[in-house]
Amino acid sequence: MTLASRRTFLATAGLAAFAQQPPVTFRTEVKLVRLLATVKDADGGLVGGLTKDDFRIFDNGVAQELAVFEHHTAQPLSVAIMLDISGSTAKDLKYEVDSLQRFAKALFGSGNEGDQAALFTFNHDVVKLSPFTRRLKRLEDAMKGIKAEAGTSLYDAIELGAVELGRRDGRRVMVIVTDGGDTTSLTSFHKAMEAAHRNDCVIYANLVVPIENDAGRNIGGEHALAQFTGGTGGKVFQPTIGAALDRAFDSILRDLRTQYLVGYYPKNVPLTKNRFHTVKVETKTAGLRVQTRSGYYGDSAP
């Protein structure tokens, strides 16, 4: 996608999806709020086998009734792989591509037969190198000949990837491989975050930091990634190249294979001036932590 076409996309399909709804104080029909949830114990171990009765949900502090509950391995995954190819990634790019190929192979090797992945690269532009597919060779071929150059449009990549994922059924996941930071995006952090929330995307990030000490690191970019992942129910990893990066991808897959889908129709939720509704999901068992997105964009008070 060229810079000109990216501007057009953001001005039409992307931004149009985020148009504000008129404020209301009451309505008889409300949209189902879907949440992907990963549950872990005090040691960080994944917890499977929970039932609908084990969960509690609160919307702006008000308890809600679960309308949907599924062990989510039954639903297909759509994974948007976002690979940073800005100039600062040059020395590690080959190793990142190798790990991504192993990740894709593992993704297709188990789980749902409908699982698919697409490949995007981003530097000053965002380019879709492969549409959603289950053909491993297609993804591998798309990764050949990638070169690292220019700036980093991380926020544009997240916004465009979220809109693409929003057209997919089932679970929507974004996996970002980057060294952090944003230097050339046309969109903002807040619009990219809103796109992720509106399209029900869970974001995971492998932050491959090129500089280990704080001097010279893009700490602000690293904090932004932590907000993207934490706010959508994912996680940010900080692996080194090689085996550690492979382990980070393995951890992402384990999370995805043990997710729950919980959903509810908001009732009796007090509206505020803020369109963002804060959602809290917890279990009735002490010591368990639920990893899910922090909320959703809905109605606001007039």
**What is the DSSP track for 155-194?**
HHHHHHHHHHHHTSSSEEEEEEEESS--SS-SS-HHHHHH
Show the domains of the chain with their CATH numbers: 30-72+259-297 (2.60.40), 74-257 (3.40.50.410)
Mean pLDDT confidence for 279-295: 96
Beta-bridge partners for 211: none
Q: What's residue 29's pLDDT?
A: 47
Element (H, E) at 70: strand 66-71
The rounded distance, in Å, linking the Cα atoms of 229 and 221 is 13
Taking only the tens place, the pLDDT of each residue in 153-168 is: 999 999 999 999 999 9
Report CA 243 to chain centroid distance, whole Å: 23
Asked whether the beta carbons of 291 and 260 are under 8 A apart, the reply is no
Mean pLDDT confidence for 102-128: 94
Paired tokens of 43: 């040691």
> 271 Cβ partners below 8 Å, 6+ apart?
23, 24, 25, 299, 300, 301
pLDDT-derived band of residue 6, with 50, 70 and 90 as boundaries? low
Paired tokens of 17: 């999806």
pTM, whole model, 2 decimals?
A: 0.86
Q: Which residue has the tokens 């992907």?
A: 36
Mean pLDDT confidence for 116-133: 97
